[in-house]
Chains A and B, each alone.
With several copies, the nearest count.
Chain A
């Protein structure tokens, strides 16, 4: 039965279902218990599944991920919540040197089916460290899979797929979209869903390709709607998987449109957009009418809240880039 629920609630449902279906699934993090997390994504889960399944941990991110590694070796499937993007760095060592590498190091003998949930991105008027987009740090790291959902339905299925997967998955949640609603088929069989690592054409169009993920998919779709009024028919691709990227879907689109604009909140320099631009430039060399353009955060620390609207890519900046592409 399809229900119209928020993205946050969809994640909550997905986590609940995962806890129900496999008693090795445990949730751990700061304030995930009684409080249900600062964004209430784990609301009610400790009450229903107990303190052994939904674990309020000491305040130390390396500890959260490091003990999750041990639990995973023991056969558990930990789902770790990092409270905000900017607080993942104390755990960085455990993530890149252990989580990402243990399967390789052990020649496939030790699997770490760990999911690391990170609410990310800006737009909520927060103080420093609460609005960052650190996905490139993880996507650059072999051994990690990195995904991001953009809407309630994907949130619901993708979190379950991530938990079911034996790959370690860094799961980026677009925090400013937690409250946006959409239809979700609760209880639907996952086998019917798109695979976790498939991109999706979120809007079909022929004139140019917008590529986005997480919070920027909405922005890209809005831009496409606005562009349609000007008679430009934009295709919008929701990456969904940031590592690996589903390039075939992208190439097919760009070969069709001849123009591509990548949008993300993270600083541009060596961001995901750089890789996309580099690949598209190489693989669609003879199809491109204009260089791949990027609309991203600037190469500065995330600014104070009262400037973030000007920092974040928005509809206008996306349309401006589309214009520039056509003006090439």
Chain B
């Protein structure tokens, strides 16, 4: 129940965080938090390289999306730049049976679930609003209204318990993603209430990227966010969100606690949004370049690269190959995004109700008639 304030790395915020890989690429064997929990990872060289591969790939895909947006091919893009470690680490920590509830920024988590990265592009291009099957992908639809998905995740987790799928090492667990700004929403706090009362098998994963659009963290709280959990009766742990190993280790542990029947955990991944909030945003209006600069030194990818290099797990050839494969994937993505067909306008009448509605049917029919009346004219 105690809060997981860990030993303080040189770059840690007051109160510390769990860090297994320093910005310089130094590996700490393990970290033990104040409540006595020890976090570590036990990866093979191949797995370390795999994480690097993921980080580079999701960053590259993100960059491609940013470019597509600038070229007018996407209506908007919510970049994950800077948050790759938080997402890849936590995403890789999920077991296949687990269920994730993202916001609109979890492209990295999506990728780690083995989902085709094009999946959310319909939404950002404006051809649909997501449109995927949450259960098929064990990955809920992107949720735009801040915080709402945390309640969905909690209800889903209650269902996991009701289905008898907790209490064993191969039970199911649920993870809900949200931002620092979201912690102010009533609904998110209600999710904390519910999760506590029903001992829901879930992990609340808060990516504290220091901003909610233009508003810095102190507009949402005067104490570190991970401490919120204690007020609801479950543990909160802060991690170095730019450290993929810490993100993996702590999320894996929290998920396993959940699946074993030990209830919820809040993880605050302390990170930074390196880019704009979305492509519509202009961060120069509210933050100074030196702040961004200082976070560059904590980059999640370069530290893993330094580590791999020092440990001689990988060399230039590997890094080049990873860049190349990421680029190939990105270019493939680009092509497929450009090829996305515009939806037939009449399809906007589809999927309003599972059982349909005579009213919607009538409107669809009138719409079709009306548009047919223009056929051949210059409309």
Contacts and interface: CB of A to CB of B under 8 A. Distances in A.
A210 interface: no
Interface string B361-373: 0010001001100
Nearest to A128: B129
Interface string A262-291: 000000010000000000000000000000
A248 B135 CA distance: 39
Interface residues of A, number: 76
A35 B220 CA distance: 16
A104 B351 contact: yes
Nearest to A34: B286
Interface string B152-171: 11111111101100000000
B342 A300 contact: no
Nearest to A130: B144
B84 to A, nearest CB: 23
Nearest to A320: B370
Given A59-B220, A70-B159, A129 B145 contact: yes
B190 A35 contact: no
Nearest to A298: B363
A8 B133 CA distance: 38
B351 A108 contact: yes
A73 B152 contact: yes
Contacts, number: 251
Interface stretch (A10-18, A50-58, A172-180, A227-235): A50-58
A56 B219 contact: yes
Chain B interface residue number, banded: 35 or more
A93 interface: yes
B185 interface: yes
A127 B75 contact: yes
A103 B353 contact: yes
Given A97-B145, A129-B145, A316 B159 contact: no
Nearest to B354: A166
B145 A244 contact: no
A305 B76 CA distance: 11
A111 interface: yes
A187 interface: no
B162 A304 contact: no
Contact of A306 (B194, B342, B367): B342
5 closest cross-chain pairs (CB), A and B: A70-B155, A66-B151, A305-B126, A67-B155, A74-B159
22 contacts: A52-B162, A56-B215, A60-B186, A62-B186, A63-B184, A65-B151, A66-B152, A67-B151, A67-B154, A68-B155, A75-B159, A94-B148, A98-B145, A103-B353, A109-B134, A110-B135, A126-B76, A128-B123, A298-B367, A301-B352, A306-B126, A316-B374
Interface of B: 75-76, 104, 122-136, 140-141, 144-146, 148, 150-160, 162-163, 181-182, 184-187, 190-191, 193-194, 197, 212-215, 219-220, 280-282, 285-286, 342-343, 345, 347-355, 357-360, 363, 367, 370-371, 374, 379
Interface of A: 26, 30-31, 33-36, 38, 52, 56-60, 62-63, 65-76, 86-87, 89-90, 93-94, 97-98, 102-111, 113, 125-129, 142-143, 145, 165-167, 197, 244-245, 269, 298-301, 303-307, 310-311, 316-317, 320
